[in-house]
Amino acid sequence: MTDSQNIQDPAALENRRQVLYWRLLARLFDQEEQPTLESASLAVVEDAELPTALLDPGASIDAIVQRHPELAAEFDGLMVPPAENKAGNGNGSGDENGVGGGGDDDRDRQAEVRRAALAAKVLLNVFATGRGTVTAGQLSRWQSDAGWLERAFGCEPGGLRGRAPGTGARTGGRLAGTGTGAGLPTPDLSTLIPQIGPELGAIEADLVKRMHLREVLADPKLAAQLTPSMSLIEQLLRDKNNLSGIALANAKALIRRFVDEVAEVLRTQVAKSTVGELDRSVPPKRVFRNLDLNRTIWKNLTNWSPEEERLYVDRLYYRHTVRRTTPARLIVVVDQSGSMVDSMVNCTILASIFTGLPKVDVHLIAYDTQALDLTPWVHDPFETLLRTNLGGGTDGTVAMALAQPKIAEPRNTVVVWISDFYEWRGEQLFEQMAAVHRSGAKFIPVGSVTSGGQGSVNPWFRERFKDQGTPVLSGHIRKLVHELKTFLA
């Protein structure tokens, strides 16, 4: 049998693919090279006409794509499941990790080997992070590689980590361009075990902790290499009191960049969130400001007189409007203990956005074992975050002492309480919350306001909130946006 015939043999091609996967597993669990696997993998990659840099642990995906730009299209949508990628990815593969095919006879096994080499590279770069100190450059490279992994799953860079940018070469939540995921909807990744988003966040947090962050911030060149992330912002907020001079200035610049990026995403969600259907059984007010001029003209076009060049209007049409006549008061209480950092950042930004809405009076309170009224700075999330003190225990009764006097008109007030509800004085706090609910104020307990919807809630509180008729809201931040807009409309 010739070499070309051997390459076409299904069993031989399957063995080649398995070699790449065995090397991936070996490198994930042991940093030492396995000479046999390395040499076999090198032969497989060369036969697949792929760059040998795919086997170099020090080579980033960006570096490989820069030298071989044609590979960018193959990385996009590389791991999209068959249900979302039936149309194919341009290379004709039909393995279980990619596009669907018919039976085994329809599988393009050579393409499967090629995909295995690319997938192994992405997975190895993201999940094999080594040990020891991490530099700013290494963190930046990992964040970029994690973005390529997200692209391989058909998501925007940052999408799985809950930080999808507001701009970029993407449109409508779909991959732009002509890559393997081009034009495909974002796949449903909820069945992944474990959930990959939190895992990526945990790896990123570990890398940040392994950095000599103060030294990096003190060096403008190194600081410029940092890409803002939730993990990095958490560390900066925790350490801000120990920074000064150039290091503090660089830290503030990173925090502001992150705040601006997240705010752009949240503003879009607030703008797009629906608040239900208008009750059209109630006629609109017949006042000039509600006049629907375009509809009035359209409906009366049959009354146009060509001779007189006049339009005779026999009926006026008005818009249905929903306008709040009295300001709504929104009181946001956020647990700023160590387990709620993501929620603290998101809610601070969200509160600032609602502050900009007409006839909405927003108040913001943060607490751990002490409470802080951040209302004077609520319009500026950057300044608000700089005044937080992350960490410590949790005693919601001190926050309630600040919140209760603000409920002047219960029927016109919504209290949003964001916490995991692991409290020191749980029964006392719940009784106070129940009193707020009985007063007529809308009380919304929220277990997590993260971009990915992850979070743990004290089951004792969860059951009592459910019995009270105010079940804990948890999941994606869009849920809270919808609830607030419904009340404030």
Is residue 330 within 8 A of residue 484, CB to CB? The reply is yes
Q: Could you tell me which of 31, 34, 55 has the C-alpha nearest to residue 43?
A: 55
Q: Tell me, what's the pLDDT at 165? A: 42
Polymer length in residues for the chain: 489
Report the percentage of the chain scoring pLDDT > 90.
14
> Which residue matches tokens 């065995």?
22
Superfamily covering domain 328-488:
von Willebrand factor, type A domain (3.40.50.410)
Residue 348 to residue 461: CA distance in whole angstroms: 24
Residue 143 to residue 137: CA distance in whole angstroms: 10
Is residue 223 within 8 A of residue 136, CB to CB? The reply is yes
Say what the alpha-carbon torsion angle 90, 93, 99, 103 is, to the nearest 10 degrees: 140
Residue 235 to residue 208: CA distance in whole angstroms: 8
Residue 462 to residue 464: CA distance in whole angstroms: 6
Q: Tell me, what's the pLDDT at 168? A: 33
Q: Tell me, what's the pLDDT at 356? A: 75
Stated pTM of the model? 0.57
Q: How far, in Å, are 127, 162, 165, 369 from residue 229 at the CA level?
A: 18, 10, 11, 27
Q: What is the pLDDT of residues 335-365, one digit of tens each?
A: 887 656 677 777 788 788 778 776 778 899 9
Q: Tell me, what's the pLDDT at 406? A: 93
What type of residue sits at position 380? D
Q: Tell me, what's the pLDDT at 97? A: 44
The β-bridge partners of 291 are 318
Residue-range domain boundaries for the chain: 279-321, 328-488
Residue 433 to residue 410: CA distance in whole angstroms: 13
Residue 53 burial (CB count, 10 A): 16
pLDDT along the chain (489 residues), means of 10: 54 87 86 84 90 88 89 87 48 42 62 90 89 82 87 78 44 34 47 65 81 86 83 81 88 88 74 51 64 84 86 82 62 79 77 77 88 90 81 84 92 88 89 93 80 68 91 74 69
Q: Tell me, what's the pLDDT at 95? A: 45
Q: Tell me, what's the pLDDT at 143? A: 84
The CA-based angle 28-33-36, given to 5 degrees, is: 110
